A and B are shown apart, each in its own frame.
Chain A
Amino acid sequence: ILNVEQSPQSLHVQEGDSTNFTCSFPSSNFYALHWYRWETAKSPEALFVMTLNGDEKKKGRISATLNTKEGYSYLYIKGSQPEDSATYLCAFGQAGTALIFGKGTTLSVSS
């Protein structure tokens, strides 16, 4: 059974803090790693799709890294803002299989 683990489960930070969370996945037969952001009452929105070991992606204040050999990805948010409050989901894909989602990290940013 393939397992995708995300930690922490939830996180509360102050506006301006930088934060990061982890997604762990099986290191065998890696194909792709996705990050999604899911705000309450909205649709999950794709942040990044990463396929290569050592990939680093950036979108504004959010960035992600990928280590396929050891099976983890980090998502970083620099200078958190209240609008960053959301659940961040990672999803892992092996060749020929559908994505498997983690349970998510719920981030709350207070002003």
Chain B
Amino acid sequence: DTEVTQTPKHLVMGMTNKKSLKCEQHMGHRAMYWYKQKAKKPPELMFVYSYEKLSINESVPSRFSPECPNSSLLNLHLHALQPEDSALYLCASSLQDKGTYEQYFGPGTRLTVT
């Protein structure tokens, strides 16, 4: 199984809502990533988890809260988002969080904040 799955595929939420994005992989990868991608821009790294511990937080606002309950799952909890947070959120995993390992991406969650 070389697949990274993400749910939901699409999400529309109001600025006062609380929602969560989920990501799952069963490849035994120990590094998992959240990226944000806006139209015509490259994916921007948000968070990296290595062996279930947060290793990189790219100065992401606290309204985004990551969680890694186990080595296969990665969540992104959303609260009090702004319309400018509307984007495609991509999850990825790799064997380890070294740059020499290719990353496997999920299909993304398209988030719209109204």
Contact = CB atoms under 8 A, between A and B. Distances in A.
Contact of A43 (B45, B48, B58, B106): B106
Interface residues of A, number: 25
* Nearest 10 Cβ contacts at the A-B interface: A93-B99, A46-B102, A101-B42, A32-B99, A43-B105, A44-B105, A31-B99, A43-B107, A98-B45, A103-B42
B100 A32 contact: yes
Interface residues of B, number: 24
A51 B104 contact: no
Interface string B63-91: 00000000000000000000000000010
B43 interface: yes
Contacts, number: 59
A31 B90 contact: no
Contacts of A103: 40-42
Contact of A49 (B48, B92, B100): B100
The DSSP consensus for interface residues of chain B is: loop
A101 B107 contact: no
Contacts of B40: 103
Interface of B: 4, 33, 40-45, 48, 56, 58, 90, 92, 97, 99-108
5 contacts: A31-B99, A95-B99, A98-B56, A98-B99, A102-B42
Nearest to B41: A103
Contact of B108 (A43, A51, A89, A94): A43
Interface in A90-111: 93-95, 97-104
